[in-house]
Amino acid sequence: MQRDLTRPFAAVFGAVFLLVGLVGFAVTGFGGFADISGKTLVFFGLNPLHNLAHIVIGGLWLASSVRAESARAATQVIGFVYLLLGILGLFALGSFNVLALNVGDNVLHLATGALALLVAYAASRQQADEPDIVAAS
């Protein structure tokens, strides 16, 4: 029996997203909440709304890591959303860019989304391959 990686994946990524959100507020402060051109952390664009999004997603992902089923579901949903966000980010969002996303963000969102979907898919396949154990009456 292989180990389901969605729980540790959700825990690690949730903690990282929470930390990035908190560090992001140290960089941006709270002004210019949804400015389309925010500040940068390393080479990733940030504004307070982007930081808040990281904290919310990180908290949800971390909370989901308590159970394999919730971790798998959260990883699938977050993976899909991040993949979609990365694809949309490839088409300059202009004045709709309320998260101050840049090319670095888009690449990271694509990679995070793809990795999350891969982990969730592998866990779903693993669960489907395991025989159900039914107790005898």
110-114: long-range contacts, CB 8 A cutoff, minimum separation 24:
110/82, 110/83, 110/86, 111/86, 112/13, 112/79, 112/82, 112/86, 113/78, 113/79, 113/80, 113/81, 113/82, 113/83, 113/84, 113/85, 113/86, 114/79, 114/83
In a domain? residue 1: no
In a domain? residue 113: yes
In a domain? residue 132: no
In a domain? residue 84: yes
Q: What's the mean pLDDT in 36-48?
A: 87
Number of folded domains that form the chain: 1
In a domain? residue 73: yes
What confidence score (pLDDT) does residue 137 get? 45
Q: What is d(CA 54, CA 61) in angstroms, rounded to the nearest whole number?
A: 10
Determine the 3-state secondary structure of 36 from DSSP: coil
In a domain? residue 34: yes
What confidence score (pLDDT) does residue 135 get? 47
* More confident position, 97 or 78: 78
In a domain? residue 134: no
Domain that residue 16 falls in = 6-127
In a domain? residue 56: yes
Q: Model confidence over 51-82: pLDDT tens digits?
A: 999 999 999 999 999 999 999 999 999 999 99
